[in-house]
Amino acid sequence: MSDLQKYIQKRAESDKAFAENYEEGFAEFRIGVILRQAREAAGLTQDDVAKQLNTNKSAISRIENHADDIRLSTIHKYAKAVGAKVPLVFG
């Protein structure tokens, strides 16, 4: 178990609010990371994606760094702009 995993486990045991909100917060963080990685893999900058989505760089930065409550339609538009697909899996 890594030091980070040990910290998370220990914190979750001692902090009920942290434990209750950890999974949701981690999922939101992970979405932003996946979007950024897709953009970088496509060799695009935030400015490049912003131009394709008819927005500005700061909006793309917010999407990548604060992906909480992001619309599925926005994720699809972003994915299309970076040449990726978004598989939707329930289960």
- Report the chain (91 residues): mean pLDDT per 10 consecutive residues: 76 79 73 91 98 96 84 93 90 73
What domain range is 48 assigned to?
3-81
Is residue 62, in this structure, part of any structural domain at all? yes
pTM: 0.70
Q: CATH no. for residue 40?
A: 1.10.260.40
In a domain, 88, yes or no: no
Percent of the chain with pLDDT over 90: 47
In a domain, 86, yes or no: no
User: How confident is the model over 29-54, as pLDDT tens digits?
Assistant: 788 888 999 999 999 999 999 999 99
Residue 40's Cβ-side half-sphere holds a number of Cα atoms within 13 Å equal to 8
List Cβ neighbours of 60 (8 Å cut-off, separation of 6 or more): 46, 47, 49, 50, 53
pLDDT for the residue numbered 4 = 67
Give the total number of structural domains in the chain.
1
The owner of tokens 């040449």 is 83
